Amino acid sequence: MRVLLAEHAGFCSGVKRALKLTLQEVDKGEKVFTLGPLVHNDEVTNFLHSKGVKIVEDLQKLDSGTVIIRAHGIPPRHLKILREKKRLKIVDATCPKVKSLQKIAHEFFKNGYDIIICGNKQHPEVQAVSGWTEGKAIVVDPEDYDTIKETLLGPKALLISQTTQREDRFSKMAKILKKKNPNLEVYHTICKATALRQASAVKLASTVELMLVVGDEKSSNTNKLTQVCREVVKTYQVTGAREILAKWLVGIKNVGVTAGASTPPWTIKEVMVKMENDNFEAKTEEVVSYQDVPEKDYRPGDIITGKVVLVEEDQVLVDFGYKTEAILPRAEVFLEGDTTLKDKFSLEDSVDLLILKINDQEDKIIVSQKRLERERRWNELEEAAETGQNMEGIVKEIVPAGIIIELGSSLEGFMPGSLVDVRYIPDFQQFLGQEFSFKIIELNRERDKIILSRKQMLEEEAEKQKQETLANLKEGEIIPGVVKRLTDFGAFVDVGGIDGLVHISEISWQRVGHPQDVLKVGEEIEVKVLEIIPERERISLSLRQAQPDPWTKVDEEYTVGEIISGKVTRIVNFGAFVELFPGVEGLVHISQMADFHVKHPSEIVQEGEVVETKILDINVDSKRISLSIKKARPAPRDLTTHSYSKENENQNVTLGDVFGDLFNNENSIGKSEEEE
């Protein structure tokens, strides 16, 4: 037959602590009394009796010696009576978990809440908790929640639980009462030890044919274990090995064993051994070791994770599975402005904390959230400084030498003025309150020194962007850019962290005298990538090629022989260029300017003058248009023909008739000849 012991069984930390405190007093040779049995287990009671510990039920009978307040705790009025007895030493062995339950009940009661306790009215723990509400708490057995009337639940009501209550029953009760009163607040005060014992008992019960629950029938938590196991498999509750009957085990191959929180280890061992070997002989001495409390050993500096169980004005209590709740004082929490602990924490919140102090005598553990957050922020900053990762912070203050940045968790960094930007910025006031990204360039935890540089971050980002742009740019593509600088020979355009050059000849399809005639610094334009030389970080761009080529319209708009008007844009020795429309010019060769010999085109036309020309030829491929001024004019009358033709023989022809037009039209030529 296999005998399996549940993962969590037997003495809980509260019982171990109470027993340890009692035995310590016994060792001092004091007369030791307990107010009622220390725990609900006769084995333990007998053991203590053998050590001289006496049980007193009526505290009025106590006068001198040492009195142990048992793990269940007592109401405040009883404590008052004990304190008045000057010859009596009080050792408070109330389980810290029970103490925090009392505290919760007391705090809420003081704040006008109706307190409902899910538990057994007769149980000393419940009676003690109720005492902290001046006996006004409503105690309801989980089976009797229907007896609670809506009228009993005022606008402010709190539901708590006896620490040894069944999880499922408490949850059910909370759900039903919440329906009756949505304002009801629920504090989960079932002790972890109880919950763990119940859960591991159920888990084991589902794998065996029989369960044995070891513990006293007066023990509430033992009885609950029996209840939950019985819902899964056949279960017997025994106070010790002697109660086990052989007939229970006939044909059984797997037996599970669990034990209540007040069951001593030697009793569990007896049962285990009895099950495995009927020749069992109890060796009590071997298993009794109260010094050997298997609690995790915590030290200042340890980080713990726990759940918020109580939020007060000046402190928060956090359960982290230890024998006592951690105390988080208000001063150890970062609270901004008027924020209170109640604003910041809610029940059941999971929190990470740093242990500051442990006082074993008083069972107090003081923790800090502030210092843990600060430590963690330092770690983050150190990592960022090592890896070069960007960090963020808020500009908190402008000082003469630079900027103070708030880094969170009450840490501040300094950014010297020269490291704020890549450009010169005369006044930093504009940055106040803004979020900044930066690099950490120097950090010293011991000296609380953090030096930051936004400039370095901007430079690195620009370099990164430049390399990305160089890697991604493709010749021939049209991309957006911003004009950064204008020079005589062209315009520098930022195309994404790197400037490319638009040569003056590539600015426009028209002739450009200076880039500033066409562009402005800061202007957003589209440019075509002509050439990329990554190793020299050079990019050639064209603005005009990013726009439609005006020559493509020439064939549609003009035909050879057509007379058109155009402005003279340039005069050269061999002729004059005439603009047909923006970006398209034709040439009037010097030979096409007049019917007579012209020494220089300026004798006939001036720059800016609008002239009529005749299109002689169009060659779109070579972007050439030949124009003629002389052919655009009406042909001068032929003197010979006019003088001697028969038709004119009888007419009265004068020289003015023959040359008049010519003189009028070519007046300028005459003038210029005179001037020469």
Give the contact letters, 213-252, x = binds to ligand SF4 (CB under 6 A), - = no. --------x-------------------------------
Name which of 114 and 319 has its Cβ closer to ligand SF4. Answer: 319
Radius of gyration of the chain, Cα coordinates, nearest whole angstrom: 50
- The piece of 2-10, 13-21, 309-317, 438-446 that touches ligand SF4 (CB under 6 A) is 13-21
Which residue from 3, 5, 9, 15 is in contact with ligand SF4, where contact means CB under 6 A? 15
Which CB atom, from 194 or from 626, has the smaller least distance to ligand SF4?
A: 194
Total chain residues near ligand SF4 (CB under 6 A): 15
CA distance 498 to 533: 12
Q: Among all residues, whose Cβ is closest to ligand SF4? A: 14
Q: What token pair was written down for 20?
A: 């340890």
Nearest CA-CA partner of 55 in 65, 41, 45, 44: 45
Q: Are strands 538-542 and 584-589 parallel, antiparallel or unpaired?
A: unpaired
128 lies in the binding site for ligand SF4 (CB under 6 A): no
Q: What's the min distance (Å) between Cβ of 96 and ligand SF4?
A: 7
Q: Rounded CA gap, 256 and 269, in Å?
A: 13
Contact call for residue 104 and ligand SF4 (CB under 6 A): no
Q: Does 38 bind ligand SF4 (CB under 6 A)?
A: no
One-character DSSP codes across 617-658: EEETTTTEEEEESGGGSPPPP-HHHHHH-GGGTTS---HHHH
Does 469 engage in binding with ligand SF4 (CB under 6 A)?
no
Instruction: Report the nearest approach of ligand SF4 to the CB of residue 98 (Å).
Output: 5
Q: Residue 365: which of 314, 320, 409, 330 has the closest Cα?
A: 320
Q: Which is nearer to ligand SF4, 198 or 409 (CB)?
A: 198
Q: Does 195 bind ligand SF4 (CB under 6 A)?
A: no
Assigned token pair, 617: 């030829």
Q: What is the DSSP string of 403-437?
A: EEEEEETTEEEEEEGGGS-SS--S--GGGTT-EEE
Q: Give yes or no for a contact between 198 and 226, defined as CB atoms under 8 angstroms apart.
A: no
**Which token pair is 657?**
């008739």
Order across the sheet with 65-69: list the strands: 54-56, 32-35, 65-69, 88-92
Nearer to ligand SF4, 222 or 592 (CB): 222
Instruction: Say whether residue 44 binds ligand SF4 (CB under 6 A).
Output: no
Distance from the Cα of residue 661 to its chain's centroid: 90
| Residue number with CB closer to ligand SF4 (15 or 491) | 15
> Please, what is the angle between helix 13-27 and helix 96-110, to 10°?
110
Confirm or reject binding of residue 45 to ligand SF4 (CB under 6 A): no
Task: Give the shortest CB-71-to-ligand SF4 separation in angstroms.
Answer: 4
Catalytic residue among 25, 43, 125, 373: 125
Active site residue 125: yes
Least distance to ligand SF4, CB of residue 15, Å: 5
Stretch that binds ligand SF4, among 134-142, 189-197, 443-451, 576-584 (CB under 6 A): 189-197
Task: Write down the least CB distance from residue 117 to ligand SF4, Å.
Answer: 14
Phi and psi based region of residue 312 (left: phi greater than 0; alpha: psi -120 to 50; beta: remaining): beta
Measured between alpha carbons, how far is 226 from 503 in angstroms, rounded to an integer?
93
Residues in 256-275 that interact with ligand SF4 by CB under 6 A: 261
Piece of 92-100, 115-123, 341-349, 384-392 that binds ligand SF4 (CB under 6 A)? 92-100
Using CB under 6 A, pick the residue from 95, 229, 316, 458 that binds ligand SF4.
Answer: 95
User: Does 71 engage in binding with ligand SF4 (CB under 6 A)?
Assistant: yes
Residues 8/14/19/21 CA torsion (nearest 10 deg): 140
For the CB of residue 219, give the shortest distance to ligand SF4 in the complex, in Å. Answer: 10
Catalytic (active-site) positions: 125
